[in-house]
Structure 1
Amino acid sequence: MAMTFATRPLFALALAALPLAAPVAGGLTVTLGAAPAQAQAFSAQRQAIAEASSEIEGLAAFYRERDFQPVWTSSEAIDRRNALIAALQEAGNHGLPTDRYDIDALIETFRAADNPYARGQADVMASRMFLQYASDVHSGFLEPGDIISDIFQELPRPDPNELMTELVESNPYSFIAHLAPQDPGYTRLMRVKLRLEQLAREGGYGPTVQAGSLRPGDTGAAVIALRDRLMAMGYLDRSVTATYDALLQSAVVEFQMDNGITPDGVAGGDTIRAVNRSVEDHWNEVVLGMERHRWLNTGGDVPERMIFVNLTDFHVRVIDDGETTFVTRSVVGARDRQTPEFSDEMEHMVINPSWYVPRSIAMRSYIPNILAGGSTYMQVLSNGRVINPAAVDMSRYSVSSFPFDLRQPPGPRNALGRVKFMFPNRHAIYLHDTPEQYLMEREVRTFSSGCIRLDDPFDFAYHLLARQTDDPEGLFNRILNTGQETQVDLEEHIPVHLVYWTSWVDDDGTLNFRDDVYGRNARLSQAIRSLGVVMPDTAS
């Protein structure tokens, strides 16, 4: 039974059976007796705490700074114990691997702690369990980079010493509650998770739609199944129609928009596949979405401005004070040249950029033609100086031994377009214009070699520059019209997050899903399930 704060704390009950009578320094309570007996008991407790905490450097440092005084086992620590047990009991609401937090074992350890040495061991056990929970709920229970090589997100892992210090100096209920991400998007996902669990208990979305496609005017069992599933998902009010009518068409359009499908009102193959996903499928996506939120947890310290690139949504957004102030479509890396996930800071833009061709692209697309004597619009560079490839005996080189660099000078045909936006990183990833604007009309935009191409790069530049000039458009275009490569520094660096979110909840409460275009969800979900994070009820 879930414990409420009004009930007698379980840990207090466990400790009540122990021979505790009078408090001494550090909060440890022992049976009254001679001073030497107290000193001996305290020494045994200190030894136990020192030994048990030694494996975690930060925890050992915390206890050492407190002269190995207990945190959880003193009579004064009732609220702290109760706050911990309450948080562990609610860990499942966060989609955490609850098997990591053995509440029964912790309580039994306290019950069995009938001497100072055992109490010291129990104290450290509680600290270790708290630190595991705190790390998991704050910054994630996976190490995503160990699972997927293209995830380079540095997780904001809290320092154990700092965590323990803040815990003992704070209201424990409030402190533990604020370890999870405090952004509204995380809270909205948690609410959806609980709602999906309720839906599963009630039978899920109903029978799947047995049709390849459906369109307005159709009738029959498949239309009824489509109607019922959209009703269960909240897209349609209660209805008894068996016809694909205007109301059903409108619901399909809304569903398509929330799932990244062209909103044409026709339930084609992509729409049918999406609408046939089970409650469990959605639950898994939402739990993974919550985990991804934790990877970016800033502890409530939200930047005034940030640039948010969701690779699955093919859009780039500028977010100011939590509100989206600019959005543009984007092209991301192809499936065989995937854009990585990481965070950095945008420092400057380059107007009229040159393109220094990455070696991998040069070897694949340009060097073979140059070696064969073909022409190229690329400049061939030797030690940074332009040379004439016709004056070089290319028969001496192979693709792998080609000793020259390739550069495309500024111009309308430049692969980077007329402007690029730089957040220097080891992956050589940045945002830029593109001469291939027609690709922006595609629904799935995975065409680049890894960088992010923008649909509205000039407007994006104006938006960024507006904070440092009264005439951002005039400044940008004056430089553009020179045709000269020019770097424009941003007076304030802007955090940039390249993420892979396939589920999120909008401000209006709308649950969104996007396709797993790189196949990353499958591997991460397998890792989550291996840790025991599964839906309580798997009805579809």
Structure 2
Amino acid sequence: MTIVSLPRTAPRVLRAFFMFAAVMTLWVLGTAPAQAQVTAFRQAVAESAARDEDLATFYRARDFQGIWAGDDRAATTRRNALLTALSNAGAHGLPEARYNAEEMIAQLQAATTPTQQGAMEVALSTAFLTYARDVQTGILTPSKVVPLIVREVPLRSRLATLQGFLQSNPDAFLRALPPSSPEYARLMREKLRLENLLAQGGYGPAVQASSLAPGASGQAVVDLRNRLILMGHLDRTATQTYDATIQAAVQRFQQSMGLSADGTAGSDTMKEINVPLDKRMQSVIVAMERERWINRPRGLRHIWVNLTDFTATIVDNDRVTFSTRSVIGASETDRQSPEFSDVMEYMVINPSWYVPRSIVVNEYLPQLQSNSNAVSHLDVTDRSGNVVPRGSVKAGNYTARTFPYSMRQGPSERNALGLVKFMFPNKYNIYLHDTPSKSLFSRESRAFSHGCIRLNDPFDFAYALLAKQESNPEALFQSRLKTGAESRVTLEEPVPVHIVYRTAFTNVTGALQFRRDVYGRDAAIWNALSQTGVAVRAVQG
């Protein structure tokens, strides 16, 4: 693990700013005749910008005049605003070397001819566009790192970004580029807090015990006590015994990790207790990158499904108004739940289950080949949806590729979808639904489905959604349910759905929460970020 240690401010860069201001009055002035200087500068801008279509279009519209060059107030303000933003890139969990402000200043100081200055004009615009995209919508292309992150990142037009910057207050424009969500601000604040803590030694020594229970004493309990204090779960105390105060602190820690909060530091709890601070900081940095991937309005009312937290919530005006436990896709690659956003349009009460093709041919066809009466709770249907008698199926004559039938389960309490499903039609065939397998919701880790999201309280979830359009949502729902017939209820105001994966996030009070990396996705994202130069920092307070 590479940890970069630096002061809270960056005085060398600030000193360089003053040096830079002293020499910039000479930029594009030189000693050659003025017209020759202008011609050489514009020619250099044209040649340097030609390699980038957006920059070529931007400068062509300006007759290749600069926006950074010169000693006028507007150019000076733009330069200083950009260099300040670049010097602070590490605060956003971005790779500082990618926007090395000191090196940029040195290159500007060394640019003494109009040709060199024209090239640096375009270099500044290039650095601006790189930083703007990185801080606004992320460094990585998510699907290239994890194929099941099928989210559409809301990339902004580079040309429009540059034009918008030119027409705005430079400092204000750059400050507005990162996500404006409260979660991003809280993650950034927590990142700085952890950086200060890391500079002071982090969480201290690991606890040398596989488990600890109330009543225990000794050095392991002291180390546990100290780590809980540094994590913010325990007020300062001199106790050396696993007493009631430590038990309560362990419960708070367990709650912050999504563990069963019994107050006993068993093996799972101890494993999480001993995760080093720099590893936790990686999760926060990954969460900030993920927040940039979703940098668009989420909807005044939206549904937020955090796969790692095994929950589905309804959020109204940034406040959670309903929450339920969920079961997500199993850890096998072909069963994991994908990550994406869509819009919920309707719910189906007493749904039929149309078995996905992959399940039909991979799980049920082999059973039918051994026994034509296997999976008798399912109907075999032809291409028109008509039920085919089991005796005429002849499953042994087909392979997974050639099997011509589909399978369907009609409405019932035993239906795999339970008694209601919530639809946001998508090409991944993922939705939220009820389930007859209620026992799974009592488990701490709940990755068991084929990819869809099962809800522990689907009826209450439906009532909460329908409350916006029905005076008595429960009565409407129950009246449809009692018929036993499949029934569709359209949401008058469709609701955005965001299926996300956050191993670090904040709760309603702003306190930092961590969850296990159930699919190993955040580890892959961190590896990709570190390859770009992102590093965990220790910052002196």
Q: TM-score, normalised by structure 1?
A: 0.93
Shift of 1:179: 0.6
Name 1:494's counterpart in structure 2. Answer: 495
Letter in 2 for 1:379: D
Q: 1:393 is matched with which residue? A: 394
Shift of 1:444: 0.2
Contact 1:2 1:89 in 2 (8 A): no
How far apart are the structure 2 equivalents of 1:142 and 1:494?
28
How much has 1:378 moved relative to structure 2? 1.0
Mapped contact 2:340–2:500 kept (Cα < 8 A): yes
Residue pair 1:17, 1:111 contacting (<8 A) in 2 also:
no
Amino acid at match of 1:16: T
Alignment equivalent of 2:111, drawn from 89, 110, 113 = 113
1:122 to 120, 123, 137: 120
Structure 2 counterparts to residues 79-158 of structure 1, below 5 A:
79-158=77-156
Contact preservation (8 Å) 1:11, 1:82: no
Give 1:189 deviation, angstroms.
1.3
SS, match of residue 54 in structure 2: helix
Q: Give the conservation status (yes or no) of the 8 Å contact 1:215–1:244.
A: yes
Helix, strand or coil at the partner of 2:536: coil
In the alignment, the residues of structure 2 paired with residue 395 and residue 275 of structure 1 have an alpha-carbon distance, to the nearest angstrom, of 54
Cα distance change, pair 181–240 in 1 and its aligned pair in 2 (3 A) = same
**In the alignment, residue 317 of structure 1 is paired with which amino acid?**
T
The corresponding residue for 2:408 is: 407
Q: Is 1:177 equivalent to 2:178 in the alignment? A: no
AA aligned opposite 1:405:
S
Residue range with higher mean Cα deviation, 408-417 or 471-480? 471-480
Q: Contact (CA 8 Å) 2:222, 2:240: kept in 1 or not?
A: yes
Aligned position for 2:309: 313
Q: 1:330 deviation in Å?
A: 0.2
Find the residue that maps to 2:11 and give its secondary structure.
coil
Residue in 2 that maps onto 1:227 = 225
Q: Supply the distance in 2 between the matched residues of 1:13 and 1:291 (Cα, whole angstroms).
A: 37
- Paired residue for 2:290? 292
Supply the AA of the counterpart residue of 1:75.
Answer: D
SS in 1 for 2:345: strand
Deviation at residue 109 of structure 1 after TM alignment: 2.9
1:327 is aligned to 323
Provide structure 2 residue ranges, at least 5 long, that are not aligned to the other structure.
1-9
Deviations 1:376-395 (A, max 9, x none): 22111112211112134334
CA shift at 1:117, angstroms?
Answer: 2.8
Are the equivalent residues in 2 in contact too, given 1:353–1:416 (CA < 8 A)?
yes
| Cα drift, residue 68 of structure 1 | 2.1
Residues 13 and 101 of structure 2 are in contact (CA less than 8 Å); yes or no, is this contact kept in structure 1? no
Structure 1 residues 206 and 345 mapped into 2: Cα distance closer, same or farther (>3 Å)?
same
Partner SS for 1:82 = helix
Change (3 A) 1:381 1:123: same
Query: How many percent identity over aligned positions?
Result: 47
Q: 1:3 to 1:489 in 2, by over 3 A?
A: farther
Work out whether residues 312 and 517 of structure 1, in 8 Å CA contact, stay in contact via their aligned partners in 2: yes
Q: Which residue of 1 aligns with 2:4?
A: none
Displacement after TM superposition at 1:31 (Å):
6.8
CA RMSD of aligned residues (A): 2.1
Number of positions where the alignment pairs a residue of Structure 1 with one of Structure 2: 524
What is the distance in 1 between the residues matched to 2:426 and 2:94? 32
Q: Quote the residue 2:11 is aligned against.
A: 2
Where does the alignment leave 5 or more consecutive residues of structure 1 unmatched? 21-29
Note if 1:16 corresponds to 2:14. no
Summarize the Cα distance change of 1:466–1:453 in structure 2 as closer, same or farther, 3 Å threshold.
Answer: same
Displacement of 1:470 in angstroms is 1.7
1:318 maps to amino acid: I
- Contact 1:289–1:501 (8 Å) recurs in 2: yes
Partner Cα distance (2:501, 2:300) in 1: 22
Instruction: Select 1:260's aligned residue among 258, 261, 267.
Output: 258
How far apart are residue 112 of structure 1 and its match?
A: 3.0
1:357 aligned partner:
355
Assess, with a 3 A threshold, how the Cα gap between structure 1 residues 538 and 117 changes in structure 2: closer, same or farther. Answer: closer
Question: Contact 2:257/2:513 (CA < 8 Å) preserved in 1?
Answer: yes
CA contact (8 A) 1:49 1:123 kept: yes
How far is 1:538 from its partner?
A: 11
CA contact (8 A) 1:19 1:31 kept: no
What residue in structure 1 maps to residue 53 of structure 2?
57
User: How much does 1:108 deviate?
Assistant: 2.7
Contact 1:3 1:86 in 2 (8 A): no
* Displacement after TM superposition at 1:425 (Å): 1.2
**Partner Cα distance (2:113, 2:16) in 1:** 26
